[in-house]
Structure 1
């Protein structure tokens, strides 16, 4: 009995010491959510100069329809180009879930079609679509995004007569 108690105490002590001296980096879920909120704000207000503060230099964005851009400059170009087509583009986060180094948002995007888009000249139509994105955060910055826009809904709204 005495040996069992001693073994349990030694095991408990080892577990306690290992948990205290862990090299695991703590993940700040609130900070991860905040950086993603800022990214959505930049899509909404077009202030692409702010991307330097929230995107990792090796940022990569993958969209389900095969569109991909890399780096901060790629993101700046993509946002600026998109806002020329939809100058009043707004993204409103509807749901946000975070765990570990990932943040997922479902958001409502709205904008008025004022420029050529996928072969369709400006229609002046106000569109609303829902999108989902998954973000990977590294050292407080967005390193990767996977985007899933409702492209079919967008196309249907722009071609309605």
Structure 2
């Protein structure tokens, strides 16, 4: 069940509060389970600030609350507030929106899988039965654990990043056109390590369910990637 937390406080230091939230977003990039955040200021009382944070579930919100970055930002927020903030926990029992966060959720997926360091848990981002359709592979990748194994193959072979060039969202689906840039650092599917910087274009269509990514259809320039690695012979394997 979708969960929303309502945070209300009073502050006469709105610019500092805004910078604090910006820093928090940067520090938790690729880690936060929140799917949507709105910050509003009371029109009749400029010191009254309300933040609305949406999570896929109460459990995801609690995991987010237990992160050390969350404790740090809360302590800093208290120093900027006049009195104690109030927190209201809401289970969403009705939501009439056409999903509006699909593009942002897909964007967060690409940021997460390209982030340096160990791959973070994906349970706040994709469903347990996530279904990935990849035309290059003989079988679809089904399940969160299988998807993690697939991602680790790429992450172990390349340091890479994505540039999101275009996104179109409609209903529960979002199409993302991306540019991938990577530096090979280890053998990749039988291709020896070249140490080269390579690029690849691709398009992914995601379907969302319950605020998470549930299914994907992928097209990418594998031939172009292998050509840059002088490994076109790998296509015959």
Could you state the TM-score of these two structures normalised by the residue count of structure 2?
0.54
User: 2:206–2:215: 8 Å Cα contact kept in structure 1?
Assistant: yes
For the residues of structure 2 that align with 1:155 and 1:84, how far apart are their CA atoms? 17
TM-aligned CA deviation for residue 78 of structure 1? 1.6
TM-aligned CA deviation for residue 34 of structure 1? 1.5
TM-aligned CA deviation for residue 130 of structure 1? 0.6
SS at match of 2:120: helix
Q: Which residue of 2 aligns with 1:28?
A: 99
For the residues of structure 1 that align with 2:161 and 2:213, how far apart are their CA atoms? 20
For the residues of structure 1 that align with 2:121 and 2:170, how far apart are their CA atoms? 25
User: CA offsets, 1:23-49, max 9 Å, x none?
Assistant: 9953222x1112111100112105533
Point out where structure 2 has 5 or more consecutive residues left out of the alignment: 1-93, 232-237
SS at match of 2:124: helix
Matched, 1:76 2:148: yes
Name the one with the larger helix percent.
Answer: 1
User: 1:43–1:91: 8 Å Cα contact kept in structure 2?
Assistant: no
Which structure has the larger Rg?
1
Of the structure 1 ranges 127-136 and 61-70, higher mean CA displacement relative to structure 2 is found in: 61-70
Matched, 1:134 2:202: no
For the residues of structure 1 that align with 2:212 and 2:169, how far apart are their CA atoms? 14
User: CA offsets, 1:126-152, max 9 Å, x none?
Assistant: 001111000001111101011111101
Matched, 1:96 2:167: yes
What stretches of structure 1 move > 6 A for 4+ residues in a row?
none
Matched, 1:122 2:193: yes
Q: Which residue of 1 aligns with 2:218?
A: 147
For the residues of structure 1 that align with 2:119 and 2:174, how far apart are their CA atoms? 21
SS at match of 2:112: helix
For the residues of structure 2 that align with 1:114 and 1:48, how far apart are their CA atoms? 17
Of the three residues 109, 113, 116, the one matched with 2:180 is 109
- State the aligned residue count: 136
Q: 1:66 to 1:80 in 2, by over 3 A?
A: closer
Point out where structure 1 has 5 or more consecutive residues left out of the alignment: 1-22
Two-structure CA RMSD over aligned residues (Å): 1.9
Between 1 and 2, higher relative CO (CA 8 Å, sep ≥ 6) is seen in: 1
